[in-house]
Amino acid sequence: MSYMGERYSSSRALIVLVAITVLLPRDAGWFAAYHDLDEVNAYVDGIVARHPEVARVRELGRSVEGRPIRALELTRGAPATIVIDGGMHAREWISVMVATCLADRLADDPLLAQVSFTIVPVVNPDGYAYTWTTDRRWRKTRRDGHGVDLNRNFPIGWGGADSSHDPSSPQYRGAYPLSEPESRALAAAFAGTTRAHLDLHSFSQVIVYPWHHRREPTPDAERFAAAADAMAAALRATHGETYRVRAGSELRVGAGGTVTDWSYAEHGALAFLLELRPARGPDGFELPPEQIAPTCDETLAAVRALAAAIIR
């Protein structure tokens, strides 16, 4: 390439960066529709451009197909961190949008004076991209075409209930614990002092806390229950939606290899699986886009309640 070509390429890159900053203001209108992987990544970059004093993107790893798995880190120096992840199951689009919306709102929230956040909007970028191009109901990663259920791939209770050794199963757990680059990337988000973890999914409007793979309660069961009740009250107070609270050990069918069992066992995090809207329905994975913003509203209230629990 000639010198003139190099100058043109650099100028074009600058124009693209400016365009991202200009075209992606904090705008509720952006959250009136669902967005594909490239659009989500661009919006996250826009958050960093608008809040460089508190926000940065860290690449945690690469997916099976080579896509970056990105975390947005928001901090003013508070040592206690809450990790929030979305998009682990590809078809659960609302979890991606809510994680992105939380990042947008928390970037200038006074809560940052007391708590830092690491937010991973799309843990499973290959699967998420596949739901946009090929199969809207795809759940797993794209490992060898059959995929792995990342929420059965973590070491605590791996190979246990509600997981399968059959690659064709929706709950295929992978060849061994943390076999997948996506699960290892999410594990890398838990650096420093992770005090709490919110794993966003859909659907059924329920808050579930460890253990998932055992029938007995954790030693911190009372603390989990109190924080979950506070989160449920905050969710309900926002738009009147009811979110049930359950201990994973009390569910009819538990689950082995879940990320929240791992983050609690490995890091001592106050860890919750939050199943977002809707409460029920045959098309629950296709929540109408007009419900994105209110779902974010109520989830932000839950995050504030969770932050209050760890600050206390």
- Render pLDDT for 52-91 as a digit per residue (tens, 0 to 9): 999 999 999 999 999 999 999 999 999 999 999 999 999 9
* Active site (annotated) includes residue 53: no
| 45 located within any domain | no
pLDDT one-digit tens code per residue, 99-122: 999 999 999 999 999 999 999 999
| 144 located within any domain | yes
What region, left, alpha or beta, does residue 188 occupy, with left being phi > 0 and alpha being psi -120 to 50 degrees?
A: alpha
DSSP state of 172: B
| 275 located within any domain | yes
Report how far apart, in Å, the C-alpha atoms of 195 and of each of 16, 87, 138, 187, 311 are. 37, 21, 32, 14, 9
Answer whether 269's CB lies under 8 Å from 189's CB.
no
Residue 261 token pair = 């069992």
pTM of the model: 0.90
| Domain span including residue 295 | 51-311
The whole-angstrom separation of Cα 123 and Cα 181 is 10
Catalytic choice (266, 275, 286, 290): 275
For residue 138, is the peptide bond before it cis, meaning its omega torsion is within 30 degrees of 0? no
The CATH number assigned to the domain holding 187 equals 3.40.630.10
| 296 located within any domain | yes
Answer whether 126's CB lies under 8 Å from 142's CB.
yes
Number of domains making up the chain: 1
The whole-angstrom separation of Cα 182 and Cα 126 is 10
| 84 located within any domain | yes
| 151 located within any domain | yes
Which among 240, 251, 247 has a CA at the least distance from the CA of 279? 240
pLDDT 10s digit of each residue in the chain, 312 long?
332 333 333 333 333 333 333 334 456 799 999 999 999 999 999 999 999 999 999 999 999 999 999 999 999 999 999 999 999 999 999 999 999 999 999 999 999 999 999 999 999 999 999 999 999 999 999 999 999 999 999 999 999 888 999 999 999 999 999 999 999 999 999 987 899 999 999 999 999 999 999 889 999 999 999 999 999 999 999 999 999 999 998 886 779 999 999 999 999 999 999 999 999 988 899 999 999 999 999 999 999 999 999 997
